[in-house]
Amino acid sequence: MARAGRPTRPVGTITRGTTNPNRLRRVDRWLAGPQAWRLRRAADPVVVDLGYGATPVTAVELRDRLRAVRADVEVVGVEIDPVRVTAALPLAGDGLSFALGGFEVPLPGGRRPVVVRAFNVLRQYDEADVAGAWSAVRERLAPGGLLVDGTCDEIGRRAAWVAVTAEDGPVSLTLSLRFGAFERPSDVAERLPKVLIHRNVPGERVHDALGALDAAWARAAHRATFGARQRWVETARTLRAEGWPVLDGPSRWRLGELTLAWDAVRPDQVPGRTSG
């Protein structure tokens, strides 16, 4: 705790800040799709792009995409590097602002975000740091709020993210791949979030899940005649039929997405699982 009258230091460390336009389109599409209800129900529709990087393009894109859900959405880009914040300030206005901070998610007036998107941030930390980061953000979320902790490649073709709720902690893992950008679904493994990337080894749940996904993809090879999209849909149906807790349906599968319940992939030591 900081002493009264003294500013609180941002929680976290400066990361590389690599970013590209349209890199986060897959997770943004998910936020504006199956997660849109959170924004629609929010009393205060404020969303945070945490660790937006060297340029604020992802914060601008997030605002523009979420306006399709709520025209009055406000996006706050939060960065721990003061140079990056200063560089972004000319773009502020019209539902977009920028602030210096980290996992403590500093918003004026005690405002609580309904969504915090932290992409390619924790990937650059140690696995042991995940629990503290998740906990710090969850404490700042509005009721029913969501933290999205994810990773993607440099141009957004392969992405994976964990949905972490204010009340229950991690609840799901979503994999999202561009058709034509992979040979097997497990090619996304190198983009797993920090909490899972080192767990893709025999004996871990996420390794078993990716193996089952690859096997279902192989068995669906006959659908490739109709295109990779139809093959992916068949793969997802097979996975569900085998008893895997697939949480989404064909409308998401056709986009190259697949969401599994967290218990199907969680490591034995689960960061941030307890509520509170």
Chunk the chain into consecutive blocks of 10 residues (it has 276) and report each block's average pLDDT, rounded to whole numbers: 47 67 95 97 97 93 98 97 94 96 92 97 92 96 97 96 97 98 97 96 97 98 96 98 98 98 87 43
What is the H or E stretch that residue 102 is in? none
Structure-token pair, residue 83:
């140079």
Task: Please choose, from the candidates 54, 72, 60, 51, the residue with its C-alpha nearest in 3D space to the C-alpha of residue 28.
Answer: 60
| Residue that the structure tokens 């503290």 belong to | 132
Domains along the chain? Answer: 25-264 (3.40.50)
Res 87: pLDDT: 94
Residue type, 24: L
C-alpha 246: how far from its chain's center? 18
CB 79 within 8 A of CB 119: no
Structure-token pair, residue 163:
């949905």
CB 114 within 8 A of CB 74: no
C-alpha 1: how far from its chain's center? 28
Handedness of CA 82, 84, 87, 89 (dihedral sign): negative
Res 108: pLDDT: 85
- With residues binned 3-state (H G I as helix, E B as strand, rest as coil), the percentages for the chain, rounded to 5, are 40, 20, 45
Distance in Å from the first CA to the final CA of the chain: 18
* DSSP letter string, 120-149: SSGGGS-GGGHHHHHHHHHHHSPTT-EEEE
Res 15: pLDDT: 66
Res 3: pLDDT: 36
